[in-house]
Structure 1
């Protein structure tokens, strides 16, 4: 008895092709979703790294604000006579120009030429000079820098020096930057009880709060806001 050989019919081929297409589309969708997740995670990680860099740098310098050496009284022998004024307002946030100005002890040896150098024997004398100054025997040099951080054109910039120094870009894609100060109730209190962007009495400042919002230029992730608080180690005048 002979059996007629049978193959696939047109309908069966169409069904197989449709099922294969569905499987391929599913695999493609999974691949696209995985790729989008990878790209968005990379974008978020890059934003976090940018925020960590600029905020950690600023916090390190904020903690050194008001450290002008080992004696409270310093003779101003700077060429412009501007060191005393810097001592009176060692940290300031200008809401109008969005600039944070700090006068801080130089952190490490890679900060370049200081704005001032305080030369002191830590017993009887302390004198502030402009620029770099080398101590003599029995003296200690304290490099002091004036730093200006500004928020402009979606960038955080930084410059150092007196007057209006040239500024370099630290981070891009910034949509918001804000600074507030933790204030004690009085100059003798230890803990901060309120926050203000324009404190009237620098002696009440106990901490500084920084708020930074970064955006992804390609809109792959939402805006991310980072907040940090740094306590001042030195009492301001």
Structure 2
């Protein structure tokens, strides 16, 4: 038989199969790596978006803490006479139960029903009422909300209202949530000089640091910790 008419031998076929297998395995590895990268980037993006949503919401509300209208003296005409107590402690962090309580001016028009409404003529009188209150002619209404942020069972929840309001889940897959306060050295200082989780004098609080740690339930990406500092616009009592 003519040597030029011979086919491939067994060795040549085995070499070709091995080379093809190596190429296929390389392509599969590249595909798996690309897929894992896509999944991890997606999980990281979800965590960042959840953290941005929760922290930006809290920062916006913290900045309005301590703002109760245009006059400093307010008559408490609320149903349970609980408005004055909220004025004294408009921001409180319960480290044992991991609850952050804020008493803040309602932000925007989509905040729902206020806990209290301060009605004032911004000259001589200001009165706090429970719930919604329509101002009379020459008066202004300042809706005030009491907000509670609670961390438990890997969830950050939020509720609004007096007493123990019903909490709704704000963010899932939360590993840790912590709050510390930037405290000034004296009442005349503007900037915070130290941080404390339980400041003895609320009047010295100048800022609030929020720390939120999220995790991916599928372990596609490592835990991420997010920090943000919100400066208070209003001095606390």
Could you state the TM-score of these two structures normalised by the residue count of structure 2? 0.99
Would you say 1:104 and 2:69 are equivalent positions? no
Deviations 1:52-99 (A, max 9, x none): 000000000000000000000000000000000000000000011100
Distance in structure 2 (CA, Å) of the matches to 1:191 and 1:25: 60
5+ long unaligned stretches in structure 2 = none
Tell me what 1:135 maps to: 135
Tell me what 1:29 maps to: 29
How far 1:3 sits from its partner (Å)?
Answer: 3.4
Tell me the SS of whatever aligns to 2:37: helix
Tell me what 1:40 maps to: 40
Tell me what 1:3 maps to: 2
Tell me what 2:173 maps to: 173
Distance in structure 2 (CA, Å) of the matches to 1:197 and 1:177: 12
Tell me the SS of whatever aligns to 1:97: coil
Tell me what 2:69 maps to: 69
How far 1:187 sits from its partner (Å)?
Answer: 1.5
Tell me the SS of whatever aligns to 1:158: strand
Distance in structure 2 (CA, Å) of the matches to 1:103 and 1:53: 20
Displacement over 2 Å in runs of 4+: none
How far 1:217 sits from its partner (Å)?
Answer: 0.6
Tell me what 1:204 maps to: 204
Q: How does 1:80-159 map to 2 (within 5 A)?
A: 80-159=80-159
Distance in structure 2 (CA, Å) of the matches to 1:218 and 1:107: 36
Tell me what 2:56 maps to: 56
Distance in structure 2 (CA, Å) of the matches to 1:83 and 1:42: 45
Tell me what 1:79 maps to: 79
Count of residues paired in the alignment? 236
Distance in structure 1 (CA, Å) of the matches to 2:64 and 2:124: 23
How far 1:6 sits from its partner (Å)?
Answer: 1.3
How far 1:111 sits from its partner (Å)?
Answer: 0.8
5+ long unaligned stretches in structure 1 = none
Distance in structure 2 (CA, Å) of the matches to 1:232 and 1:154: 28
How far 1:186 sits from its partner (Å)?
Answer: 1.2
Tell me what 2:232 maps to: 232
Deviations 1:95-127 (A, max 9, x none): 111000000000011111100000000001000
Deviations 1:163-219 (A, max 9, x none): 000000000000000000000001121110010001111100000000000011111
Tell me the SS of whatever aligns to 1:162: coil
